[in-house]
A and B are shown apart, each in its own frame.
Chain A
């Protein structure tokens, strides 16, 4: 159990002219026992970062510190980390027990019986002790993932690394495992870095989320923080399902004006916005459907997706599609003309050029205590 610090991490691939900068200037800290999720679309550098932490990739620039010590030059087994992979990466010719005990065999001088004791304990913890003698090919996806987890746990690492471990599982299994992993992590209290492209996983499991895009850190904060106070448009659109709606607007005469759209400038926003081109962001769940002609804009209903406890309604507002999420069955039907309305504290404003957020709200609803360690400020 240790603290993990990433300091100005830079990772470049390739030589001379064909260089790709996979990660640039990433700085991040994970507190002892914290569950941090690295999230972002494919190619954003999250797996590369994880590999650098693990020691599977060498670092081009910057430092990685585990427990305060710089580990850049150390081999993976020297760093006291364990890793769980997307494809499980179980050794196909070994039994589950042998898989789990392999790391111990290679890096410690424990006797065979000591190893098998530890493997047994961990197997009980994960409820796979019945499966210890089986080979991976006779295990189901979920079982394989537990064995993979067991292999990591039995090493008693300082840091757990997980590379999209749930991506290969089907949806229902995924949500069960999500909860299990969370509980496991809390029980074991091991510093964990978890990589995923699925923002739902990030939101539900993390103590803190780090959003990456194109090799750069976009924002790090608690899930709610990223949800209510995104630092830029990318984070705003990435977090939240369905994705945030965005509309191009211009600040004119105290109003935000766009195509078929008109809205008063919120209080917290400063005056010097006149004439600025902005992007307005509003989450589907924050929008209410109202009478046409009232509200900020009017549109036609294109598609209604009933999901049972909620519905997604897709509106065509002046050639843009606006998604609205409402509770329960939808009151509108395809072809209806409706208006949309939303509270000003739920509005996000981003600069049209850089995507940077302006006038973020001060706090997150319900969150009173500890402002977590943040790099960079508003």
Chain B
């Protein structure tokens, strides 16, 4: 066999060698993994879309993705049941939450990044700790608190809650971004006559934008999909108040056997957010890998 010279990955035309065979083997294996992964991860979505496009009688046709008779009946039913209102609710809550989180977290991230004070490290660790606690553990006292404050059955209340719950992670992320900007810049701004507020506004905000974008995207997706808190706080308030996830869940309970309709509802719960995310995923992934996130 022509030498086992392990060439660099741009491969030399050295004929058939063990290393090349091995490399082709890995390649094939990888392609197989890709195929399996794509199939496994996309199938449920495809299936539910397919199901939603069928009419009642054709439910039993199996694996055909595109049914013989495409029917939008189920969507009609679903839209008539108020799904648009739910979407609007969710959008309002998500946008307001994201805005709130950014407004509250950006100054805090600046504060942690640019100040030295006693207990700073402890506070940071504590915040990290909070981030690791699942909100499900505190949903009960939260319900009690929200009820006392009159914040249940209200979108505003839910938004405030979401802000409070999402601060730890967003803060940690944003602080990382602030930390990548050298403090020399702050010094130069001070010499140029800026106080801290002006420094933040004119000098630091633009460079930190990618971080804010990541925080915004992440929190939007999270808030859009959130179920437990919304369900707990909003359900007594009546259907009009529901967010999308809540609505679809309740829908499922009501229309227990009309699978096509439920499928349509589920599709509406999935597709918009997927499109949103795919459009923006590049920024999201780049933001995460750009070193602002440690370990």
* A-side contacts of B207, CB under 8 Å: 92-93
Does the CB pair B202–A54 fall under 8 Å?
no
21-73 of chain A: CB within 8 A of chain B: 54-56
23 contacts across the A-B interface (CB closer than 8 A): A55-B190, A56-B187, A56-B191, A76-B190, A77-B191, A83-B188, A85-B184, A85-B187, A87-B182, A87-B184, A89-B182, A89-B184, A89-B185, A91-B185, A91-B189, A91-B202, A93-B207, A102-B192, A102-B202, A103-B191, A106-B198, A107-B193, A155-B192
B99 contacts partner chain A, Cβ-Cβ < 8 Å: no
* B-side contacts of A77, CB under 8 Å: 190-193
B286 contacts partner chain A, Cβ-Cβ < 8 Å: no
Does the CB pair A81–B182 fall under 8 Å?
no
State which of B187, B190, B206 has its C-beta within 8 Å of the C-beta of A93. B206
A82 contacts partner chain B, Cβ-Cβ < 8 Å: yes
In the complex, A55 Cα to B198 Cα: how many Å? 17
Q: Given A93-B206, A93-B207, does the pair A106, B184 have CB atoms closer than 8 Å?
A: no
* A-side contacts of B193, CB under 8 Å: 76-77, 103, 106-107
* B-side contacts of A155, CB under 8 Å: 192
Does the CB pair A107–B192 fall under 8 Å?
yes
B165 contacts partner chain A, Cβ-Cβ < 8 Å: no
State which of A76, A90, A92 has its C-beta within 8 Å of the C-beta of B191. A76
In the complex, A107 Cα to B207 Cα: how many Å? 23
The residue of chain A having its C-beta at the shortest distance from the C-beta of B192 within the complex is A103
Give B residues with C-beta under 8 Å from A: 182, 184-185, 187-194, 198, 202-203, 206-207
Does the CB pair A89–B187 fall under 8 Å?
yes
In the complex, A55 Cα to B190 Cα: how many Å? 9
A86 contacts partner chain B, Cβ-Cβ < 8 Å: yes
Other A-B contacts than A85-B187, A93-B207, A103-B193, 11 sampled, CB-CB below 8 A, are A75-B190, A76-B191, A87-B184, A89-B182, A89-B184, A89-B187, A91-B203, A92-B206, A102-B202, A103-B191, A106-B193
Interface residue SS majority, chain B:
helix
Of residues B185, B192, B194, B198, which shows the largest number of chain A Cβ atoms within 10 Å of its Cβ?
A: B192
The residue of chain A having its C-beta at the shortest distance from the C-beta of B206 within the complex is A93
B212 → A minimal CB distance (Å): 13
* B-side contacts of A82, CB under 8 Å: 191
76-117 of chain A: CB within 8 A of chain B: 76-77, 81-83, 85-87, 89-93, 102-103, 106-107
Give A residues with C-beta under 8 Å from B: 54-56, 75-77, 81-83, 85-87, 89-93, 102-103, 106-107, 151, 155
* A-side contacts of B206, CB under 8 Å: 92-93
In the complex, A91 Cα to B181 Cα: how many Å? 10
In the complex, A159 Cα to B198 Cα: how many Å? 24
* A-side contacts of B202, CB under 8 Å: 91, 102
A48 → B minimal CB distance (Å): 13
Does the CB pair A89–B188 fall under 8 Å?
yes
* B-side contacts of A54, CB under 8 Å: 187, 191
B67 → A minimal CB distance (Å): 52
* B-side contacts of A76, CB under 8 Å: 190-191, 193
The residue of chain B having its C-beta at the shortest distance from the C-beta of A157 within the complex is B191
B147 → A minimal CB distance (Å): 45
* B-side contacts of A91, CB under 8 Å: 185, 188-189, 202-203
B48 → A minimal CB distance (Å): 44
6 residue pairs, one from A and one from B, having the closest CB atoms = A106-B193, A77-B193, A103-B192, A93-B206, A107-B193, A89-B188
Q: Given A92-B207, A93-B206, does the pair A106, B192 have CB atoms closer than 8 Å?
A: yes
